């Protein structure tokens, strides 16, 4: 079961992780909105080691306004970035 729903505000974790993982530094710690529930896929952290990636995680597409990511962003306020984030890297955003 997906923990988050479309439209939920979420925060992308910025915890330390020494293993292989798929959360680029530039989005860590940022908040966004769930745009779509994409798939359920194995965790890259353990798939990378030849393991089975369990427990499978829901993968969400998170919508983040560019102006929140980059101070002094060149473009208009409406521009955005969308990125796939595994559920174990997401937290509820405190409004």
* Residue 1 burial (C-beta neighbours within 10 Å; 0-12, 13-18, 19+): exposed
Whichever of 10 and 85 has its CB closer to other proteins, that residue is 85
3-class secondary-structure state, position 64:
strand
**CB 87, min distance to other proteins, A:** 11
**CB 5, min distance to other proteins, A:** 18
Residues of this chain that bind other proteins (CB under 8 A): 14, 17, 20-29, 38-39, 41-42, 44, 47-50, 53, 59, 66, 69-70, 73-76, 78-86
**CB 22, min distance to other proteins, A:** 4
Cα 39 to Cα 31, 33, 36, 45, 47: the distances in Å are 21, 17, 9, 17, 16
């Amino acid at each position: 079961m997906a923990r988050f729903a479309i439209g939920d505000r979420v925060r992308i974790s910025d915890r330390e992780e020494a293993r292989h993982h798929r959360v680029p530094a530039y989005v860590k710690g940022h908040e966004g909105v769930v745009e779509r529930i994409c798939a359920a896929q194995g965790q890259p952290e353990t798939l990378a080691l030849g393991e089975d990636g369990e427990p499978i995680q829901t993968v969400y597409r998170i919508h983040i306004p560019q102006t929140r990511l980059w101070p002094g962003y060149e473009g208009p306020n409406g521009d955005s970035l969308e990125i796939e984030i595994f559920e174990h890297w997401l937290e509820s955003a405190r409004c």
